[in-house]
Amino acid sequence: MQAKPSEYEVPFFKETGFSRRVGEKCREYYWTLNPDFVEPQDVPCVDYWFDSVKSRSGLNVSEARRVFIDFFLKRGHEYVPPRPVVARWREDLYLTIASIVVFQPHVTNGIVPPPANPLVISQPSIRLEDIDNVGLTIGRHLTSFEMAAHHAFNYPDKYIYWKDETVRYAYEFFTKELGIPGELIVFKEAWWEGGGNAGPCFEVAVGGLELATLVFMSYKTLNGGYEEIPLRIVDTGYGVERIAWFSQKTPTAFHAIYGDLVDKFRDSIGLEKPERTLLWAAFKAAGKLDPDEPGSVEDYYRRVSELSGVSFEDARRILVDEARLYGLLDHTKTLALMLADGIVPSNSGEGYLARLVARRALRLLTLLKSNAKLVDLVDMQVKYWSGDFPQISENRGYVLEAVDIEESRFKETMERARRALERELKRGSSLTVNDLVKYYDSMGAPPELVAEIASKAGVRVEVPPKFYSIVASMHRSPPRIKGYGEAEGTITFVAEWASKFKPTRKLYYEDPYIRSFESRILGVNGRYVILEATAFYPTGGGQIHDVGVLIVGGREYRVVDVFNVDDVIIHVLETPLISEPGEVVRGLIDWARRFRIMRHHTATHVILGAARRVLGPHVWQAGAEKTEFKGRLDITHHKPLTMEEVAKIEALANSIVDDRRPVRNMLIDRNEAETKYGLTLFQGGVPMSRVIRVLDIEGWDTEACGGTHVTNTGEIGGIKIVNVERIQDGVVRIEYVAGSRAAEVASELEGRLARIADLIGASRGREEDRVKSLMESFKALGDTVKAYRELLIESLEEKLRGAPEVGGVKLLVTGSPEKSREAVQEMLRKLTSSEERAIVAVIMREAEGSTVEIAGGAKASELHNIGALARLLAGRFEGKGGGSKSYGSFKTPRKLEPGELAEALEELLGSGP
RNA sequence: GGGCCGGUAGCUCAGCUGGAAGAGCGCCGCCCUCGCACGGCGGAGGUCCCGGGUUCGAAUCCCGGCCGGUCCA
């Protein structure tokens, strides 16, 4: 959509003398004070030329951030601290990609007020879409950057400020704080869309560099159209790194962002420092560079070569390596940020994104042919950013360990791929693009490395420029065919029906120990019942629903399911309720069951607290389930738990049980709760409401939780971890039982042991000895059987010596006491290898018919095809069979006697195939 | 969450158009040697991931599951 021109006319422009123009080449509208401009001043319309703009100089990233925040603090904005780069409060995003993400969707959809209004924030953000272009474009693309922003949320009944003020702030900030001449600042008209919202925006650029975007979020996208929204939001984004780059006027953004770290990385990697003139040529040429445009990259190197006087080949070689260096600087910082916020690298979910960044960094190191350790480079970032992002140095131990693990895993993966490749090349095959895709897609080997290894073996293969889009196109999943059945229709129908009722009063929150209650019926719909108030807990928040009975007019109805539709609780009965709204019901919940669920639920919070303390703060709940039988908690962790760690967690959890800590359930304003307890509140998802229920185990664990809990940890009664396993890369599952259930589980185990003891005939406490002696006699028995088999073979060998000759071979047909095919086969193998001219057939009688195995010695097999023989015999005895040249078998429904088989064989061998 | 690849000796892997489980390295013993290394000879070591199916017969084919790897969202 293109907004109406009037959307961009603000009084400030008129007052100050800005005029609206259109770019001669770019054909985009922009506002400027400068009559000499013929284009909006950002790349690629113009080249970078801000190096010659006079302004406040020398601001590093920290200072740029400080200047921005102070500017807005002085102008009535309140500071809001940044959130993690992992967007755990969002269901639809893994990473924080912009400052507005902090307020989506709860604030932007109007449910929760913003923590301050207007506000100023500097939000570290991560975007991985252009990860391959980072470095190449000398600073236009970064995977991690800080978005400094001021936001104003305009409600219908509360207006803060809108376009004019926002533009004035931008102009004032750039002219007064950064000292940029006003006539060099350009406001370009544009349209912004994202996350279901849209609106007009200004892109503010100076000397080729876009420094800020001012978005006026005023629509929501709806079926391809736009609809005005009541909450209009000023969503700005100032690039902190770009301000630093602009202010320092270094040839690349990386020099401005990373300062002395650039040369430290250079030293570690062993990369020579390029001539300053080459970098400045790159600065001048990079504006036109569009990596998605074919040929653009080559043009860029050509232009750098012309501007610097360095040969094309040298310019390309140096800039390719420079881009890798800058990529490493960028990726290692991003990785440190992600890991510090508790991402555990894995092969799925957000963990994969961390692995992706780590692998890209490792690939760059490999391409640079450097022996530097990634973990050392990340450690430099930890130190460099410790003042700006304290969470990184606080979690240094975990960050470095996770990087180290990723590094060795990558090496193993590369080693595996290399071996597979060398094997394949040894077989003389050539490599196609398909093979490159295979090695990348299923073995993780980057195509450049595959090509390099192949070329050493003398096999040439070209990496196509569109390689990664070929891979991406293979992963477009086919449309899901979603089955819709009667069940789904029923749920929709019930939900619609339920929406007519007012929210149910939740007695289980007022008193978690309530077992029985009386209430009035509000609605009846067959087996579905809605009450005014209930003590039945509906399924939700990882806690299973209650069961019990409703008593109406002297009749008892069993409650088999309970669920929640927008705060209306629906009881599902076993049989339809014969009653009218208004009648009084008495409800009884199955208390023994509920109490166990409560114990397991509170135990879950205790264990999570213990796991975070034993394993580290990167541990997050990845899932949980609590039933009357056991509790189950999945946590994020980068390696399997050791026995010691499990024991520690269990002991620590039980110490909290014994400590009898109070457990409090409270309703708190969401913003207040976040400020007080932090985002670790949201372990089990984020409730979408202004006020949230918070469960606090004193001094131990605080989480947003809608479940029912005991009021003191002592009531858990004790916790026994019964199972720990790694359910996938990066996720560990812990299962446990609490209280009386632990005794039950112990009894079950005892019972099982007793039954086993019975089976093996051991007295209590002597089970192990008994198993040992049984194993010994089992072994001895095996030896005995072996001896008897040898005896059997000997006697058959004896028989074979005296066997008649038919068709040039010695024929032996015999029955067998052996029931095992394998044993018979082994026996035949021995017999025929000692007598090459023998054919031996063994009949195994079974309940329904017989199986016959026939083997031929080396000479005999030359004379007669045993497999063919078996097939013929099978035909004769109404069975089926076949085999190879030297071995065959068949099955027949007849109870075969050695005599008749011998007769048949003699006949066949006599005429013989 | 989806796609792809894989699971066979202690390790790395062949065998996979169904028909008597293999190689290299490692290990053990012997020969050679003052000793080591090299070399030579011999040997031990297997639930062919699990379960079901097809078949006279399955490491091999089919279905289901488990585990590992990898790419993508």
Give the span between the Cα atoms of A287 and A278, in whole angstroms. 15
> Smallest CA–C1' separation from A885: which nucleotide?
B19
Checking if the pLDDT of A485 tops 70, the result is no
| CB A237 within 8 Å of CB A98 | yes
Spanning CA of A262 to C1' of B73, the rounded length in angstroms is 34
Instruction: Look at phi and psi of residue A145 and say left if phi exceeds 0, alpha if psi is from -120 to 50, else beta.
Output: beta
> Smallest CA–C1' separation from A891: which nucleotide?
B56
| CB A161 within 8 Å of CB A2 | no
Spanning CA of A441 to C1' of B3, the rounded length in angstroms is 10
- Which tokens in the block code for residue A308? 């610097």
Average pLDDT score over chain A: 90
Q: Over A402-433, what HEC string results? A: HHHHHHHHHHHHHHHHHHHHHHHHHCCCCCCH
The owner of tokens 């195939």 is A913
Give the span between the Cα atoms of A79 and A150, in whole angstroms. 9
Q: What does the pLDDT look like over A811-858, one tens digit per residue?
A: 999 888 777 777 788 788 788 877 888 899 999 888 778 889 898 888
Average pLDDT over residues A564-593: 93
Angle, helices A61-73/A240-248, rounded to nearest 10 degrees: 110
Q: In sequence order, what are the beta bridge partners of A200? A: A191
Spanning CA of A492 to C1' of B25, the rounded length in angstroms is 65
> Smallest CA–C1' separation from A413: which nucleotide?
B69
The pLDDT score that the predictor gives to residue A487 is: 44
- H helix intervals, A122-174: 163-172
> Smallest CA–C1' separation from A832: which nucleotide?
B20
- Region of poorest pLDDT, from A124-138, A501-515, A604-618, A864-878: A864-878
Checking if the pLDDT of A478 tops 50, the result is no
Query: What pTM was computed for the model?
Result: 0.89
Spanning CA of A201 to C1' of B30, the rounded length in angstroms is 87
Spanning CA of A864 to C1' of B42, the rounded length in angstroms is 35
Spanning CA of A834 to C1' of B40, the rounded length in angstroms is 28
Give the span between the Cα atoms of A650 and A639, in whole angstroms. 18
Q: Which residue has the higher pLDDT, A432 or A735?
A: A735
Give the span between the Cα atoms of A557 and A518, in whole angstroms. 14
> Smallest CA–C1' separation from A423: which nucleotide?
B13
Spanning CA of A426 to C1' of B61, the rounded length in angstroms is 29
Strands A621-626 and A805-806: unpaired
> Smallest CA–C1' separation from A441: which nucleotide?
B71
> Smallest CA–C1' separation from A829: which nucleotide?
B20
Residue A681 dihedral angles phi and psi, to the nearest 5°: -50, -40
The pLDDT score that the predictor gives to residue A489 is: 52
Checking if the pLDDT of A788 tops 90, the result is no
Residues in contact with A833: Cβ distance below 8 Å, sequence separation at least 6, in sequence order? A857, A858
Checking if the pLDDT of A591 tops 60, the result is yes
| CB A789 within 8 Å of CB A827 | yes
Q: Which residue has the higher pLDDT, A605 or A749?
A: A605
Checking if the pLDDT of A79 tops 90, the result is yes
The owner of tokens 């069993």 is A558
The pLDDT score that the predictor gives to residue A488 is: 46
| CB A468 within 8 Å of CB A441 | no
Residues in contact with A309: Cβ distance below 8 Å, sequence separation at least 6, in sequence order? A277
Residue nearest to nucleotide B69 (CA to C1'): A443
Spanning CA of A770 to C1' of B44, the rounded length in angstroms is 29
The pLDDT score that the predictor gives to residue A913 is: 45
Q: What's the alpha-carbon Rg for chain A, to the nearest Å?
A: 38
The pLDDT score that the predictor gives to residue A477 is: 46
Rounded percentage of chain A residues whose pLDDT exceeds 70:
97
Rounded percentage of chain A residues whose pLDDT exceeds 90:
61
Spanning CA of A23 to C1' of B30, the rounded length in angstroms is 91
Spanning CA of A309 to C1' of B59, the rounded length in angstroms is 65
The owner of tokens 């028989």 is A799
pLDDT band at A1 (very low <50, low <70, confident <90, very high): low
| E strand spans, A394-503 | none
- Looking from the CA of A880 toward its CB, the CA atoms found within 13 Å total 0
> Smallest CA–C1' separation from A874: which nucleotide?
B56
pLDDT band at A425 (very low <50, low <70, confident <90, very high): confident
The pLDDT score that the predictor gives to residue A484 is: 33
Residue A265 dihedral angles phi and psi, to the nearest 5°: -60, -45
pLDDT band at A719 (very low <50, low <70, confident <90, very high): very high
Residues in contact with A807: Cβ distance below 8 Å, sequence separation at least 6, in sequence order? A863, A864, A909, A910, A912
Give the span between the Cα atoms of A782 and A630, in whole angstroms. 43
Spanning CA of A481 to C1' of B58, the rounded length in angstroms is 35
Give the span between the Cα atoms of A47 and A692, in whole angstroms. 51
Q: What does the pLDDT look like over A385-402, one tens digit per residue?
A: 999 999 999 999 999 999
> Smallest CA–C1' separation from A826: which nucleotide?
B20
Q: What does the pLDDT look like over A436-448, one tens digit per residue?
A: 888 898 889 999 8
Q: Over A531-563, what HEC string results? A: ECEECCCCCECCECCCCEEEEECCEEEEEEEEE
Average pLDDT over residues A528-551: 92
Q: What does the pLDDT look like over A294-307, one tens digit per residue?
A: 889 999 999 999 99
Spanning CA of A729 to C1' of B67, the rounded length in angstroms is 12
Spanning CA of A416 to C1' of B54, the rounded length in angstroms is 35
Provide the positions of strand B that have an atom within 7 A of a protein CB. Answer: 1-5, 12-14, 19-20, 55-57, 67-73
- Looking from the CA of A88 toward its CB, the CA atoms found within 13 Å total 21
Average pLDDT over residues A801-813: 87
Give the span between the Cα atoms of A520 and A503, in whole angstroms. 14
Q: Return the H-helix or E-strand segment holding A738.
A: strand A731-738
The pLDDT score that the predictor gives to residue A490 is: 61
> Smallest CA–C1' separation from A443: which nucleotide?
B70
Q: Which residue has the higher pLDDT, A681 or A492?
A: A681
- Region of poorest pLDDT, from A2-11, A182-191, A202-211, A252-261: A2-11
